[in-house]
């Protein structure tokens, strides 16, 4: 029993199976918080190893280490980083509460499996608070910083790029970068590219956001997000960063194929929005093992788990944001409040699927073939 007299629940922390994924959703100190609250935590052996957290660190705080993924998935609440992969679909079942990144608008097969399974699925990326999207923001911050690094690096001829150095040289203008969507990820990418002395144009539908960024010097120029106007900047761009988001929905396609085709050969697209389907028409998902492809002579970097390659930083940042919400979710599951449309008041916007029904309105809009909650 927990200190509050509430029923305790079991929490499972599986090892990630997505290609190249080294993150873990909870650090040992976060697991300690759940155990102090009276919950039981099962950690799959090796879950934290890639992020620098050995099994012994979890055992020391009182977690039970298990080898078998199925045993971890048999707990009341499974918390993990990436959306379940095909090999994990068999673990999804009635009575399970899942708390993870889901990106369902870009995952039709997973959505069908979740609806059919009866599981309750809470998505990190749609949870809202008065500041925005608190469980997406830490990874967007990291992915944005990484996008500046990989974008500039792939301009090198060694990586098939045009051989343009981001900052230029005396008498030679800098590279031109266009950032689509000046939210958390776009802002960090713009800062990184400006730090390399590239010329950065920020694109958004939110004019107030563009105004603020222009005033604070994050970007050199602003452009409202109208595809034809954006296209004229894309033609001259050396690097395009895709980071536009409408929470829960498929990403808006802001850059048309003809605009990609108009770019100089060896220019680079880094489409972070690929996890929601991509905001560049020519984007398709790639992996950390094979991160790029070339289309119309343009190098495309469309990795769906960019922070997965920085697991030490990313796991600590993610765990810090997830842990307090997980404790609320576990309390709600213990009290029988979770899974109802107005349940889990501490996790507004996070519930995507429950009892065979799509709950989040934008996810439900993306899949009209599935039943949706009456209240969405």
Ligand X SMILES: NC(=O)c1ccc[n+]([C@@H]2O[C@H](COP(=O)([O-])OP(=O)(O)OC[C@H]3O[C@@H](n4cnc5c(N)ncnc54)[C@H](O)[C@@H]3O)[C@@H](O)[C@H]2O)c1
Helix 311-334 with 28-36: angle, nearest 10 deg: 10
Distance, in Å, from the CA atom of 45 to the CA atom of 66, rounded to the nearest integer, reads 6
- CB 147, min distance to ligand X, A: 8
User: At its nearest, how many Å lie between ligand X and the CB of residue 71?
Assistant: 29
CB of 24 to ligand X, least distance (A): 16
Residue number closest to ligand X, CB atom: 183
State which residue, 26 or 241, has the beta carbon closest to ligand X: 241
Q: Return the number of the residue (57 or 274) whose C-beta is nearest ligand X.
A: 274
Is residue 133 classed as helix, strand or coil in its secondary structure? coil
> Interacting stretch for ligand X, rule CB under 6 A, among 31-39, 157-165, 183-191, 291-299?
183-191
- Annotated catalytic residue within 39, 76, 91, 103: 103
Told to judge if 39 belongs to the known catalytic residues of this protein, a careful annotator would answer no
Q: Does 107 bind ligand X (CB under 6 A)?
A: no
Name which of 11 and 203 has its Cβ closer to ligand X. Answer: 203
Is residue 200 close enough to count as binding ligand X by CB under 6 A?
no
Map the footprint of ligand X across residues 205-264, applying CB under 6 A: 205-206, 209, 225, 243-246, 251-252, 254
**Which residues, in sequence order, are CB contacts of 232 under 8 Å at separation 6+?**
none
- Other beta carbons within 10 angstroms of residue 15's beta carbon come to 19
Question: Which residue is it, tokens 């765990």?
Answer: 319
CB distance 42 to 10 below 8 Å: yes
Largest CA distance in the chain: 71
Query: According to CB under 6 A, which one of 15, 305, 344, 352 is a site residue for ligand X?
Result: 305
Q: Which of 276, 316, 319, 352 binds ligand X (CB under 6 A)?
A: 276
**Binds ligand X (CB under 6 A): choice among 166, 175, 274, 299:** 274
From candidates 203, 268, 299, 362, binder to ligand X by CB under 6 A: 203
Supply the minimum distance, in Å, between the C-beta of residue 170 and ligand X. Answer: 34
The β-bridge relationship of strands 221-224 and 298-301 is: unpaired
What does the DSSP assignment read for 155-193? TSGGGTS----TT-BTTBPPPEEEEE--SHHHHHHHHHH
Contact in structure between 49 and 23 (CB atoms under 8 Å)? no
Which residues, in sequence order, are bridge partners of residue 298?
295
> What is the SS3 assignment for 200?
strand
Question: 331 catalytic, yes or no?
Answer: no
- Count other C-beta atoms under 10 Å from residue 346's C-beta: 16
Nearer to ligand X, 119 or 142 (CB): 142
Report if residue 150 touches ligand X, rule: CB under 6 A.
no
SS3 percent helix, strand, coil of the chain, rounded to 5, is 40, 20, 45
- One DSSP character per residue, 277-299 reads T-SBTT---B-SSS-EEEETTEE
Nearest to 111 by CA among 357, 376, 280: 357
In whole angstroms, the minimum distance from the beta carbon of 205 to ligand X comes to 4
Q: Of these residues, 76, 238, 275, 332, which one is catalytic?
A: 275
Active site residues: 103, 275
- The residues that touch ligand X, with contacts defined as CB under 6 A, are 125, 132-133, 136-137, 139-140, 143, 180-186, 203-206, 209, 225, 243-246, 251-252, 254, 272-276, 303-307
């Amino acid at each position: 029993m927990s200190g509050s007299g509430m029923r305790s629940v079991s929490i499972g922390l599986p090892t990630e199976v997505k290609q190249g994924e080294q993150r873990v959703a909870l650090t040992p100190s976060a697991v300690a918080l759940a155990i102090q609250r009276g919950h039981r935590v099962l950690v799959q052996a090796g879950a934290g190893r890639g992020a620098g957290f050995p099994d012994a660190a979890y055992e020391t705080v009182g977690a039970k280490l298990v080898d078998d993924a199925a045993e971890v998935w048999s707990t009341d609440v499974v918390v993990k980083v990436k959306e379940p992969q095909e090999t994990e679909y068999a673990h999804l079942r009635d009575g399970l509460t899942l708390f993870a990144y889901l990106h369902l608008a870009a995952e039709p097969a997973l959505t069908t499996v979740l609806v059919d399974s009866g599981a309750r699925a809470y998505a990190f990326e749609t949870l809202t608070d008065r500041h925005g999207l608190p469980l997406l923001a830490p990874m967007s911050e990291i992915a944005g910083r990484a996008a500046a690094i990989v974008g500039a690096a792939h301009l090198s001829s060694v990586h098939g790029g045009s051989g343009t150095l981001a900052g230029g040289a005396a008498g030679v203008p800098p590279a031109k970068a266009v950032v689509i969507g000046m939210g958390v990820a776009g802002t960090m990418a713009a800062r990184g590219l400006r730090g390399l002395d590239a010329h950065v144009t920020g694109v958004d539908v939110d004019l107030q956001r563009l105004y603020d960024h222009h005033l604070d010097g994050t970007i050199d120029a602003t452009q409202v997000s109208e595809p034809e106007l954006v296209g004229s900047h894309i033609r001259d761009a050396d690097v395009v960063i895709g980071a536009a988001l409408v929470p829960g929905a498929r990403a808006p396609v802001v850059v048309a194929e003809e605009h990609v085709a108009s770019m100089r050969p060896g220019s680079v697209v880094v489409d972070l929005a690929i996890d929601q389907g991509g905001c560049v028409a020519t984007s398709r998902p790639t992996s950390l093992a094979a991160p790029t492809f070339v289309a119309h002579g343009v190098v495309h970097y469309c990795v769906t788990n960019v922070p997965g390659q920085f697991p030490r930083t990313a796991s600590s940042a993610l765990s810090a944001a997830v842990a307090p919400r997980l404790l609320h979710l576990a309390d709600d599951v213990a009290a029988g409040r979770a899974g109802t449309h107005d349940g889990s008041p501490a996790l507004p916007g996070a519930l995507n699927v429950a009892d065979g029904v799509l709950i989040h309105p934008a996810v439900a809009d993306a899949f009209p073939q599935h039943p949706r909650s009456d209240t969405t």
